[in-house]
Chains A and B, each alone.
Chain A
Amino acid sequence: MQLKASAFSLYTVLAGLIIGLPIFVVLLSFYSLDTAVWTHLSETVLSGYIYNSLVLALGVGFGATLLGTGLAWCVVSYDFVGKIWLQRLILLPLAMPAYIIAYTYTGLLDFSGPVQSTLRTWFELGKQDYWFPEVRSLPGAIIMMALVLYPYVYILARTAFAEQAQKFREVSVLAGVSKFQHFLQVALPLARPAIMTGAALAMMEALADFGTVEYFGVSTFTTGIYRTWFGMGDIQAASQLSGLLCMFVFALLVLEKQSRRSAETYSSRQGTGTQALKLSIGKGTTVLFLCSLPLIFGFIVPFIQLAVWALAYTDAGSLGEYPSYALNSAMLAAIGTVVIVLLALMFSYAKRLQATKLNRSVVQFVGLGYAMPGTVIAIGVLIPLGWLDIKLNLFTKHFFDVQPGLVFSGTIVTLIFAYTIRFMSVALHNTEAGIQRIKPSMDEAAITLGDTRLQTLFKVHIPLLSASLLSACLLVFVDILKELPATLVLRPFNFNTLAVKTFELASDERLIDAALPAITIVLVGILPVLLLTRTLNQIEKKHA
């Protein structure tokens, strides 16, 4: 029994090291700092990268906080007509990848798009007669991302507000403090750690984004890394830029972890949670209208536009290559899901068997990949696997006189590796929570009845974890389907996926052609959002 448990630990540590390898590679690239390259970078583009990335992250953080907190406060403290429907739909923008909403709005708001055309006809304006804001800009990117990332803040803020004791509110009423002052002085400070966590997550996503900024022509770290590598072929400089980006990400990571910790101390709740106040029809309708705006602009409008385009495209006849790259996407996502969820299960189980410091830190470490931008992971994966391929070819050439070519770096192995790093935390989150719900006496009962540790895993844990494993699979599957930057960089030659194709077609201004793969991603992406909505509502019911 001891031996089996330590075998699990051994595999865990090994797998942890392999998964951590790319991160080390990126950070180690600073070891051979090329001053010439850095002088060039800092003289030309670096300040632009830093400025744009920071403004983007801060802007998205601010926008998402504003929308997410406001929505959460209204939903928790007021009861109004249509609230149930709002709660069911409010997370839908999560299903809309930023690069898809970005290109959809570009199509909508461009000079030739429906909005400007309509305005021109209505007011009989000419080409030069009016000013219209440019979507393809830094502010545009901020708005696009805030529209799809606000649910990160909303989810955490809503739980935090709902957990606040109703008594607090009663104290404020007794003290004659207005509702707005109560919000500012009590509710907001108490929920602040939770809101900060959400904002940090949204900002990480903004820093990791590649598709939107590349499409909008805004130079940030991620586009810079991409160009340094593909444009200038300088993988060294690209990985050093990645390392620099990692510093920003780590800062956010620290912010997130610390906020989470203080959120726990603030959440000690006694008595019933905040009770919603019933609003009159008039006021209620106003609140409903205001609260629906993020949903309308973050999901409904772009979705309708995509649907219109997709219908126009399919009306034209053939589906083109759509079935082949949809199949590619499904295959990649399926393989990735199986690999990632199995690994996550192994990590969680090893930690359960031997909760040593080492095992716990490995699990914590492999769970950090979500913070790493896909572009950075791509660089970190490609360097060691490329090296491995070269060595392998040298070896086989020397001994067998054959060269197998790119066994790792040019195949989907690389992709799966990158996905594993990026999405491990999603799966781990589910397996960890699930396995902690199984009482330790279950394990001991099975062992006293003659099971080995491995048998216990298959006969007790996996059946009991089926719901957690299923939701882990769903989330990972959809995340892989949506993933753009790493797939774009690491995919085998001529291998297309839904995300890659959407991006390429949109970049070529073939917006209508891009709609079909795009809407496919969005539609599949709705599934985990529905799951999340249900879980969130259940949590809320528990607090009420």
Chain B
Amino acid sequence: MLDIRDLTLSYGDNTVLHNVSLSLAQGEIGCVLGPSGCGKTTLLRAIAGFKKPESGCITIGEQTVCDELVNIEVAERKVGVIFQDFALFPHLSVEKNIAYGLQKINKQERKTLTDSAMALVDLQDYAHKYPHELSGGQQQRVAIARALAPKPDLLLLDEAFSSLDPELRERLSGEIRSLLKKQNITALLITHDQTEAFAMADKIAVLQDHVCHQWDTAYALYHEPATEFVAKFIGEGTFIEGTIRQENQQLIIDTHLGSFLLEPGKPLAEGIKGKLLVRPDDLRHQDESLLKAQVVGRSFRGAHIMYRLQLENSNETLLCLAPSHHDHAVGESFGIHLEIEHVICFA
């Protein structure tokens, strides 16, 4: 449905995107996640057609909208965009805003499409209101209806939730996901907020320093991060150091926590130092465990307590998420049990 291959784009001498590739099937919701300045907004603008890439190609539906030879105009790409500030026309009513993209079709059909778009976001009662008379959430629903009314092949959402307050953000992102799923709409969301990405997307691209680090499901990003940046950026965790050795054609890393079998196919070799990713959920708290660590910090999170631990025989720290009833003070000894399901190691 959406296919982006080897997209490279720069402003003057500044490379903003370098060989970015990702693809979405019909009805999938994708997300581009990254810290500010990573080039994610530029990617959206390139897909919409506001910015012409240097190389690479973009295909939307059956149509190649942009490659070395073609560069199809914004208006003909059949892309709907929901802007960060919603960009509702303040001089037009809700109904007219939604009908704005339907001016080329006849009156009867326009009315039908507008009405169904309004019904979709449940705004029929607000047809004659103006944007400034609506709440933030309602404004966003108008923006969604306006973008969806012309039945675009692809919906792009540019930080579409960031101007809403956190509570509303969470509720709306859930609502919109089910709406898009029900309508089988392909969408790409741009955000810097992990929770938003996890709540909305089927697949997530992590962008940093103009490069796409990984294009995968949220589960894979967390448990099988492709790069050290993804491992650090997604979720919590710490690294502990170890040395890699070879045994029976297999690579093994030796650390203070023990030895772990590495997955094959990684650019790792015998004799080099490695860093093993330990997520808070890789550790289980067991008072009777022989492996002991000292509590150096703790933060109470309601159902759980996140403990920051220091191993007895090194200065490396670990994170452990323990149920809230397991209450230990800073300085106390803390028994841990290791259950690393995904062994992730970087050189």
Interface residues of A (CB under 8 A from B): 1, 439, 441-442, 444-452, 459-460, 463-464
Contact = CB atoms under 8 A, between A and B. Distances in A.
Interface stretch (B96-104, B108-116, B258-266): B96-104
Contact of B75 (A442, A451, A463, A464): A451
B241 interface: no
Interface string B82-93: 011101111100
B60 to A, nearest CB: 13
A442 B48 contact: no
Contact of B48 (A439, A448, A452, A464): A448
Nearest to B84: A441
Interface of B: 48, 50, 73-75, 79-81, 83-85, 87-91, 100-101, 103-104, 146-147, 150
A452 B100 CA distance: 13
11 contacts: A1-B75, A441-B83, A441-B85, A442-B87, A442-B89, A444-B83, A444-B87, A445-B87, A450-B150, A452-B75, A464-B89
B250 to A, nearest CB: 53
A449 B101 contact: yes
Contact of B73 (A1, A441, A460, A464): A1
Contacts of B100: 446, 449, 459
Contact of A463 (B48, B91, B103, B147): B91
Contact of B50 (A444, A449, A451): A444
Contacts of A444: 48, 50, 74, 81, 83, 87
Contacts of A447: 50, 74-75
Given A464-B90, A464-B91, A448 B74 contact: yes
A116 B85 CA distance: 68
Contacts of A441: 83-85, 87
Contacts of A459: 100
Contacts of B147: 448
Contacts of B150: 449-450
Contacts of B80: 448
Nearest to B101: A449
Given A446-B89, A449-B146, A450-B150, 9 more contacts: A442-B87, A445-B83, A446-B100, A447-B74, A448-B147, A449-B101, A450-B101, A452-B75, A464-B89
Contacts of A451: 75
Contacts of B79: 448
Pick the 9 closest A-B CB pairs, nearest first. A449-B101, A441-B87, A445-B87, A441-B83, A463-B91, A448-B81, A450-B75, A447-B74, A449-B100
B89 to A, nearest CB: 6
A439 B85 contact: yes
A450 B104 CA distance: 9
Nearest to A4: B73
- Interface of B, secondary structure class, is loop
Nearest to A442: B87
Contacts of B81: 444-445, 448
A259 to B, nearest CB: 33
A439 B74 contact: no
The residue among A439, A446, A448 with the most chain B CB atoms within 10 A of its own CB is A448
Contacts of A450: 75, 101, 103-104, 150
The residue among B50, B79, B84, B104 with the most chain A CB atoms within 10 A of its own CB is B50
Nearest to B75: A450
A508 to B, nearest CB: 52
Contacts of A445: 81, 83, 87-89, 146
B106 to A, nearest CB: 15
Contacts of A463: 91
A128 B108 CA distance: 90
A451 B80 CA distance: 13
Contacts of A460: 89
The residue among B74, B87, B90 with the most chain A CB atoms within 10 A of its own CB is B87
A403 B83 CA distance: 60
Contacts of A446: 89, 100
A459 B75 CA distance: 16
The residue among A441, A445, A463 with the most chain B CB atoms within 10 A of its own CB is A445
A102 B48 CA distance: 62
B142 to A, nearest CB: 11
A10 B54 CA distance: 26
Given A444-B81, A448-B81, A1 B74 contact: yes
A285 B237 CA distance: 73
B237 to A, nearest CB: 37
Nearest to B99: A449
Nearest to A446: B100
Contacts of A439: 85, 87
Contacts of A442: 87, 89
A448 B157 CA distance: 13
A442 B91 CA distance: 12
A431 to B, nearest CB: 17
The residue among A442, A444, A452 with the most chain B CB atoms within 10 A of its own CB is A444
A282 B79 CA distance: 70
A451 B87 CA distance: 15
Contacts of B89: 442, 445-446, 460, 464
A441 B85 CA distance: 8
Given A463-B91, A464-B90, A464-B91, A448 B75 contact: yes
A194 B300 CA distance: 56
Contacts of A1: 73-75
B95 to A, nearest CB: 14
A56 to B, nearest CB: 48
Nearest to B71: A2
Contacts of B48: 444, 448
A448 B146 CA distance: 11
Nearest to A450: B75
Contacts of A464: 89-91
Contacts of B101: 448-450
A447 B147 CA distance: 12
B140 to A, nearest CB: 13
A45 to B, nearest CB: 56
Nearest to B88: A445
Nearest to A462: B91
Nearest to A449: B101
A174 B83 CA distance: 50
A260 to B, nearest CB: 30
A1 B48 CA distance: 13
A445 B88 CA distance: 8
A441 B163 CA distance: 14
B130 to A, nearest CB: 12
A463 B75 CA distance: 22
Nearest to B80: A448
A157 to B, nearest CB: 34
Nearest to A460: B89
B82 to A, nearest CB: 9
A449 B87 CA distance: 12
A369 B86 CA distance: 39
A459 B48 CA distance: 21
A219 B100 CA distance: 62
A449 B150 CA distance: 8
A291 B20 CA distance: 68
A22 to B, nearest CB: 37
A459 B88 CA distance: 13
Nearest to A464: B91
B105 to A, nearest CB: 10
A85 to B, nearest CB: 34
A442 B121 CA distance: 21
Contacts of B50: 444, 447
A312 B9 CA distance: 76
B189 to A, nearest CB: 16
A444 B143 CA distance: 13
Nearest to B149: A449
The residue among A441, A444, A449 with the most chain B CB atoms within 10 A of its own CB is A449
Contacts of A449: 75, 100-101, 146, 150
A263 B48 CA distance: 41
Contacts of A448: 48, 74-75, 79-81, 101, 147
